[in-house]
């Protein structure tokens, strides 16, 4: 073991140290999570409306999607979707007579994690929409609002406070699930750490450092979500 | 679709399934015991113990399991040989295995999540029942053993079922530290036969079946106590 002085040098953000690699990894973890989160929200909103308003086949397909994604281990899902997705896209392209493309690791990671998030989001949004008092939606309908306008002006603002705790949980889980992307070889924080640790042989130090980075992401997110919830709950009566 | 490989690989698949189930059972059983201690520490412990237990839960729930596993396997694993005499001891063959590190890190991680569930359940036990027990002259340890803990576990049972399923879905991570669990077998089949999807599908079916068995088992346990709703 070397002295603490050289351990600090190993973590320094400038090239002899590996701190920069870790920070870049942390940045790409946050970006992947953010991208997947947004994709998940989009899928979730569409899915929730489909589950509540759709006809039988739509509801069946959505049920299959949410049940399957929530029953299969994330690692298998991510690896399966990663290979099936890139392979499937190229097969479609070649069937259309187009050249195969090399899919960007970042896009694939966002898409795969987004599909996983979407299933959980669907359930969160479905519950949040169901928790809106029916009278509010009926009142909007009585005022002659069209479904689109009703959704944008009444349902969306009213479901947010109900959905926020679930959304916060999902954000925490996507930042941690993004570590699984390391297994398929895209360089985010977990893989960057492994590379840094493997090169310097200071495994303990680097894994501890990346755990601290993940923890920092979680703790900061906690603060942000608490602030968001108190903002969206303003004007609501406080319970307990 | 080609499933002919199953005939030559089924012993390996069965062994992998055993490893997966073993990891699940070890982490759930020991994690639960640890969680009881952590939850009690948070509810009735002295200040320093409360802070420690809360910090433990925050740290283990705030970092990915993969990082915890790698920290133990690569990090602690690389420090272990420096302990004098350990390599010569009878423990070394166990301490060298990826399975040991996977079991330990899954247990510690499960305990953190479970402790949070149990903490809520302990607080949700109606005060009157505890007071009734106390008025019968039960000592605090009898009260805990006969009333507080059993009631809390019963309250938490549906959540515990969910946690066990989540734990099952976390076990494939063990393959990253050389454990030959079910997923690792699927990986090996892929490398041997160049089939990508078939092994994944077979393994998936197994995980889904296990999930169904777990949820069924918990339903049976929950039905043991009639509840008026």
**What is this model's ipTM?**
0.82
A–B: how many Cβ contacts below 8 A? 100
A225 contacts A164 by C-beta, under 8 angstroms: yes
For chain B, the structural domain boundaries read 22-178
- Spell out the residues 6+ positions from residue A33 whose beta carbon is closer than 8 angstroms to its own: A113, A171, A174, A175, A178
More confident residue, A153 or A15: A153
Whole-number Å distance between alpha carbons of B131 and B126: 9
Dig out the tokens for B140 from the structure.
Answer: 């605090």
Give the side-chain half-sphere CA count within 13 A for A169.
Answer: 8
Whole-number Å distance between alpha carbons of A182 and B228: 48
* Locus of tokens 């959905």: A163
- pLDDT, tens digit, for every residue of A156-173? 888 888 888 889 989 998
Share of chain B above pLDDT 90, in %: 51
- pLDDT, tens digit, for every residue of A171-224? 998 998 888 888 887 788 888 888 888 888 888 888 888 899 999 999 999 999
Dig out the tokens for B157 from the structure.
Answer: 């049972």
Q: Left (φ > 0), alpha (ψ -120 to 50) or beta: where does B178 sit?
A: left
The confidence score (pLDDT) of residue A192 equals 87
The confidence score (pLDDT) of residue A8 equals 67
Q: Does B173 sit within 8 Å of A75, measured CB to CB?
A: yes
Tell me which of B62, B124, B215 to substitute to probe the interface with A (most A C-beta atoms closer than 10 Å).
B62
B208 contacts A76 by C-beta, under 8 angstroms: no
Reported as a pLDDT band with limits 50, 70 and 90, residue A14 is: low
Name the minimum distance, in Å, from the CA of B183 to any CA of chain A: 8
Q: Does A84 sit within 8 Å of B71, measured CB to CB?
A: no
Residues of chain A found within 8 Å of residue B186, distances taken between Cβ atoms:
76
The pLDDT of B39-55, averaged and rounded, is 93
More confident residue, A105 or B30: B30
Tell me which of A7, A74, A76, A178 to substitute to probe the interface with B (most B C-beta atoms closer than 10 Å).
A76
The confidence score (pLDDT) of residue A80 equals 83
Whole-number Å distance between alpha carbons of A115 and A172: 16
Whole-number Å distance between alpha carbons of A114 and A37: 6
The confidence score (pLDDT) of residue A31 equals 93
Q: How many C-beta neighbours within 10 Å does residue A95 have?
A: 8
Report the predicted TM-score, pTM, of the whole model to 2 decimal places.
0.86
Q: Which residue of A has its CA nearest to B170?
A: A73
The pLDDT of A228-236, averaged and rounded, is 82
The confidence score (pLDDT) of residue B22 equals 94
pLDDT-wise least confident of A12-26, A117-131, B70-84, B89-103: A12-26
The confidence score (pLDDT) of residue A220 equals 93
Reported as a pLDDT band with limits 50, 70 and 90, residue B229 is: low
The confidence score (pLDDT) of residue B178 equals 85
- The CATH homologous superfamily to which domain B22-178 belongs is MetI-like (1.10.3720.10)
The confidence score (pLDDT) of residue A106 equals 85
Q: How many C-beta neighbours within 10 Å does residue B149 have?
A: 18
- Spell out the residues 6+ positions from residue B102 whose beta carbon is closer than 8 angstroms to its own: B23, B69, B73, B173, B174, B177, B179
* Contact status of A176 with chain B (Cβ, < 8 Å): yes
The pLDDT of B144-160, averaged and rounded, is 91
Reported as a pLDDT band with limits 50, 70 and 90, residue A15 is: low
The pLDDT of B192-210, averaged and rounded, is 87
How far CA A37 is from CA of A34, A110, B29, in Å, comes to 5, 8, 34
Q: Does B211 sit within 8 Å of A203, measured CB to CB?
A: no
CATH architecture for residues A4-232: Orthogonal Bundle (1.10)
DSSP B115-176: HHHHHHHHHHS-HHHHHHHHHTT--HHHHIIIIIHHHHHHHHHHHHHHHHHHHHHHGGGGGG
Q: Which residue of B has its CA nearest to A213?
A: B63
Give the side-chain half-sphere CA count within 13 A for B86.
Answer: 12
Whole-number Å distance between alpha carbons of A67 and A174: 18
Reported as a pLDDT band with limits 50, 70 and 90, residue B143 is: very high
Distance of CA A114 to the CA centre of its chain: 6
The pLDDT of A119-129, averaged and rounded, is 92
Share of chain B above pLDDT 70, in %: 97
User: How high does pLDDT run on average in chain B?
Assistant: 88
- Spell out the residues 6+ positions from residue A184 whose beta carbon is closer than 8 angstroms to its own: A78, A79, A82, A108, A109
pLDDT-wise least confident of A95-104, B42-51, B203-212: A95-104
Residue A2 has pLDDT above 50, yes or no: no
- pLDDT, tens digit, for every residue of A41-78? 999 999 999 998 888 999 999 999 998 888 888 888 88
Q: How many C-beta neighbours within 10 Å does residue A10 have?
A: 17
The confidence score (pLDDT) of residue A1 equals 45
Residue A4 has pLDDT above 60, yes or no: no
* Contact status of A79 with chain B (Cβ, < 8 Å): yes
- Spell out the residues 6+ positions from residue B22 whose beta carbon is closer than 8 angstroms to its own: none
């Amino acid at each position: 073991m070397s002295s603490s002085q050289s351990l600090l040098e190993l973590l320094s953000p400038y090239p002899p140290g590996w701190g920069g690699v870790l920070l870049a990894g942390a940045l790409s973890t946050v970006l992947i999570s953010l991208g997947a989160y947004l994709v998940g929200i989009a899928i979730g909103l569409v899915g929730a409306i489909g589950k509540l308003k759709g006809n039988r086949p739509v509801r069946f397909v959505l049920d299959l999607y949410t049940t399957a994604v929530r029953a299969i281990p994330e690692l298998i899902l991510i690896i399966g979707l990663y290979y099936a997705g890139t392979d499937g896209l190229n097969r479609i392209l070649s069937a259309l007579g187009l050249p195969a493309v090399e899919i960007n690791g970042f896009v694939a990671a966002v898409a795969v994690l987004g599909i996983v998030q979407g299933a959980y989001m669907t359930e969160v949004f479905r519950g949040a929409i169901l928790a809106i008092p029916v009278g509010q939606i009926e009142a909007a309908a009585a005022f002659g609002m069209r479904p689109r306008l009703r959704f944008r002006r009444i349902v969306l603002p009213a479901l947010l406070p109900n959905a926020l705790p679930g959304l916060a949980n999902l954000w925490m889980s996507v930042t941690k699930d993004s570590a699984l992307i390391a297994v398929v070889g895209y360089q985010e924080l977990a893989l960057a750490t492994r590379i840094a640790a493997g090169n310097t042989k200071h495994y303990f130090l680097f894994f501890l450092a990346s755990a601290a980075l993940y923890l920092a992401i979680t703790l900061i997110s906690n603060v942000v979500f608490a602030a968001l919830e108190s903002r969206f709950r303003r004007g609501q009566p406080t319970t307990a | 679709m080609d499933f002919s490989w199953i005939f030559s690989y089924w012993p390996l698949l069965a062994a992998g399934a055993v490893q997966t189930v073993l990891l699940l059972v070890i982490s759930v059983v020991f994690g639960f015991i640890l969680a009881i201690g952590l939850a009690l520490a948070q509810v009735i412990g002295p200040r320093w113990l409360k802070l420690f237990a809360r910090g433990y839960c925050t740290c283990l729930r705030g970092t990915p399991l993969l990082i915890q596993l790698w920290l133990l396997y690569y990090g602690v694993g690389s420090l272990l040989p420096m302990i004098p005499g350990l390599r010569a001891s009878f423990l070394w063959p166990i301490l060298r295995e990826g399975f040991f590190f996977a079991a330990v890190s899954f247990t510690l991680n499960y305990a953190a999540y479970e402790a949070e569930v149990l903490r809520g359940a302990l607080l949700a036990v109606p005060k009157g029942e505890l007071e009734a027990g106390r008025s019968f002259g039960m000592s605090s340890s009898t009260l805990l053993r006969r009333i507080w803990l059993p009631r809390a576990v019963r309250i938490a049972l549906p959540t515990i079922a969910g946690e066990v399923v989540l734990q099952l879905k976390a076990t494939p991570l063990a393959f990253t530290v050389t454990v030959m669990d079910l997923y690792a077998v699927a990986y090996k089949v892929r490398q041997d036969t160049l089939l990508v999807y078939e092994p994944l599908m077979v393994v998936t079916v197994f995980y889904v079946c296990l999930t169904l068995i777990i949820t069924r088992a918990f339903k049976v346990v929950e039905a043991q106590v009639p509840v008026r709703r």
